[in-house]
Chain A
Amino acid sequence: MTVNIRETMRHIPEEELHAYLDQALSRAQCVEIESHLAGCAGCGSLRDGIAALRDRTTALLATLSPPRGFTPAIDLLQERATARSARRHHVRRAAAWAASIVFAVGIGWWANTFSRPVSRPVARVAAAVPAAVPAVATHDAPDAAPDAAPDPIAIGSALTGDRAVSRSIASTATPRRAERAPRLVSAPTMDEPPRAELSSGSLPSSDFESTLGGMWRTLSWAGAQHERGDSVPHIDGLPVVEVQVGQAKPGGSRSIMVVAQQLASGEVIRTIEGPAAEVSELLGSRPGSTSPSSPWPTMDTPGISGGDGAMAMRFGDRMLAITAQLPNDSLRAMMRRLNAEMRAK
């Protein structure tokens, strides 16, 4: 603070007297002011007034003092400071570890993402299905027969002939059935959402339509039930995505019917029921079929037989079959279940 006071030239500004009384000036400045005050009555009077104002302010502020408490020992505060430092150090170490772990996991995920070969969903399903088969097999027990009551599954919207169109499916399964479906499909671990389109199966396709020499009709689930009643071939507990019926043959026998159902993994299972010759022909004409000789059951060997993603069973002149990209053991277990359900109807 600069104070340039000429003893006889001017009086001392008020704020400088405040600073003087607050001992905020240098020694030289104080000497100058004191020499002026010694010869200036007006500044001396002002100084006394400011001193009184200062003392009064101090007294008024002293009124606003809290009740005098005791001063805690500094050791206590030192302990708190030390504990807080230790805690902060611990938090920093924990944060550093967490960051390292996140970084490592991120690097691992990144490396896995860019180094993993693209695999077909069918292969993953095939590997996972053995875990699902026991759940299916348990329903072959005699007490499972009453469960095979008429069908609780409905198609939410009318199906169209265009297979590329995604279909919305609504299931109205009873609680017991509803809890069965997850047992069938919960074992496979998929890292992709279920596919709605019917691309993973091998039947039926336009190839078979030409093979059979007739037209395929696509029905809604309600339409299929109206036409066949309870004898629509299907597996309880799985949503139905498509029902197709072959052209009726002369003679009045029921035409071949193909019901496509979908696992949560996206895999499509097709259940086929119809005249044995047509079913055998359809199974044999599948694009994936490689067996040179017919492995399908005959009148003499009516048991369950098949291969290459298909399994069939014969009932007189009719045949019931299942196709899916699943191991033969799984298909055989599903066939047993389907047989039990169809017999119960």
Chain B
Amino acid sequence: MDDLENLYQTTYTAVVRFLYRKVWDADRAEDLAQEVFVRALRHRPEKPRAWVFAVAANLARDEARSAIRRKRHLTLLKGDPGQGPTPNVAADDQVEHDERLTAVHGALDTLSERDREVLLLWDAGLSYPEIAEQTKLAVGAVGTTLARARKRLVEAYDRQHSRDHAAYS
């Protein structure tokens, strides 16, 4: 098993997740992830891990542009077959799960483009130098950006969540 194959086995799911948080369509995220690795197998990059996520980010960006052109915005909860009821989740739990998804999605959308990108790359498992290379930040600035992004995400989520609860009570 060569390095690329090993990377594929360990990173494919993370790439799908990374793409899903950008295109919000599970099937499309899987298609794009496979496209990323097909390209990697053709190009055999020197730094495959960083290369894979860089290509994934570019594909997601292109996908977002084409989605805007087609006016085909996919929402988290509507029109996405991949977001159907999670197995073994009761109806009440499903409602709560959906509310939480909406709140997190909304909180993530409040972040700036750079903060969101750094946060998602970190969550996908990239190191600080890899994040810095992809986002054109200094390595020392990655920690600062991550600290700000984490704090704003949690604050935005708490605001959203308390607002939803206030609306129901």
Residues of A at under 8 Å CB distance from B? Answer: 1-2, 14-16, 18-19, 22, 24, 50, 53-54, 56-58, 60-61, 63-69, 71-72, 74, 77-78, 80-81, 84-85
In the complex, A68 Cα to B105 Cα: how many Å?
Answer: 18
Q: How far is the CB of B51 from chain A (nearest CB, A)?
A: 14
Residues of B at under 8 Å CB distance from A? Answer: 5, 8-9, 12-13, 16-17, 20-21, 26, 29-30, 34, 37-39, 41-42, 82-84, 86, 100-101, 104-105, 107-108, 119-120, 122-123, 127-128, 139-140, 142-144, 146-147, 150-151, 153-154, 157
Most central of A14, A65, A71, A84 by chain B CB within 10 Å: A71
In the complex, A57 Cα to B153 Cα: how many Å?
Answer: 7
Q: Is the CB of A84 within 8 A of B82?
A: no
In the complex, A69 Cα to B29 Cα: how many Å?
Answer: 11
A-B contact pairs, 7 of them (CB 8 A): A57-B150, A61-B108, A63-B104, A64-B104, A66-B17, A66-B30, A81-B42
Q: Is the CB of A60 within 8 A of B107?
A: yes
Q: Is the CB of A77 within 8 A of B147?
A: no
Checking A1, A56, A74 against B154 with a beta-carbon cut-off of 8 angstroms, the contacting residue is A56
Q: How far is the CB of B135 from chain A (nearest CB, A)?
A: 14
Q: How far is the CB of B154 from chain A (nearest CB, A)?
A: 6
Contacts of A71 in B (CB 8 A): 8-9, 12-13
Q: Is the CB of B150 within 8 A of A77?
A: no
In the complex, A66 Cα to B17 Cα: how many Å?
Answer: 6
Question: Which residue on chain B has the smallest CB distance to residue A78?
Answer: B41
Q: Is the CB of B108 within 8 A of A64?
A: yes
Contacts A61-B104, A77-B41 hold; do A66 and B151 have CB atoms under 8 A apart? no
In the complex, A281 Cα to B146 Cα: how many Å?
Answer: 108
Q: Is the CB of B37 within 8 A of A74?
A: yes
In the complex, A60 Cα to B34 Cα: how many Å?
Answer: 26
Interface of B is mostly: helix
In the complex, A61 Cα to B119 Cα: how many Å?
Answer: 9
Q: Is the CB of A24 within 8 A of B143?
A: yes
Q: Is the CB of B123 within 8 A of A61?
A: yes
In the complex, A71 Cα to B5 Cα: how many Å?
Answer: 12
Contacts of A15 in B (CB 8 A): 143-144, 146-147
Q: Is the CB of A22 within 8 A of B146?
A: yes
Contacts of A68 in B (CB 8 A): 13
Contacts of A65 in B (CB 8 A): 17, 20
Q: How far is the CB of A33 from chain B (nearest CB, A)?
A: 13
Q: Is the CB of B20 within 8 A of A1?
A: no
Contacts of A56 in B (CB 8 A): 154
Contacts of B100 in A (CB 8 A): 63
Contacts of B26 in A (CB 8 A): 66-67, 69
In the complex, A66 Cα to B142 Cα: how many Å?
Answer: 26
Question: Which residue on chain A has the smallest CB distance to residue B151?
Answer: A53
Contacts of B84 in A (CB 8 A): 67
- 8 closest A-B pairs by beta carbon, nearest first, are A66-B26, A19-B143, A81-B41, A15-B143, A24-B128, A66-B20, A15-B144, A57-B150
Question: Which residue on chain A has the smallest CB distance to residue B4?
Answer: A74
Q: How far is the CB of A228 from chain B (nearest CB, A)?
A: 71
Checking A18, A60, A63, A74 against B143 with a beta-carbon cut-off of 8 angstroms, the contacting residue is A18
Q: How far is the CB of B20 from chain A (nearest CB, A)?
A: 4
Contacts of B13 in A (CB 8 A): 68, 71
In the complex, A150 Cα to B8 Cα: how many Å?
Answer: 87
Q: Is the CB of B37 within 8 A of A53?
A: no
Question: Which residue on chain B has the smallest CB distance to residue A63?
Answer: B104
Q: How far is the CB of A92 from chain B (nearest CB, A)?
A: 14
In the complex, A16 Cα to B66 Cα: how many Å?
Answer: 39
Question: Which residue on chain B has the smallest CB distance to residue A56?
Answer: B154
Contacts of A24 in B (CB 8 A): 127-128, 142-143
Q: Is the CB of B5 within 8 A of A74?
A: yes
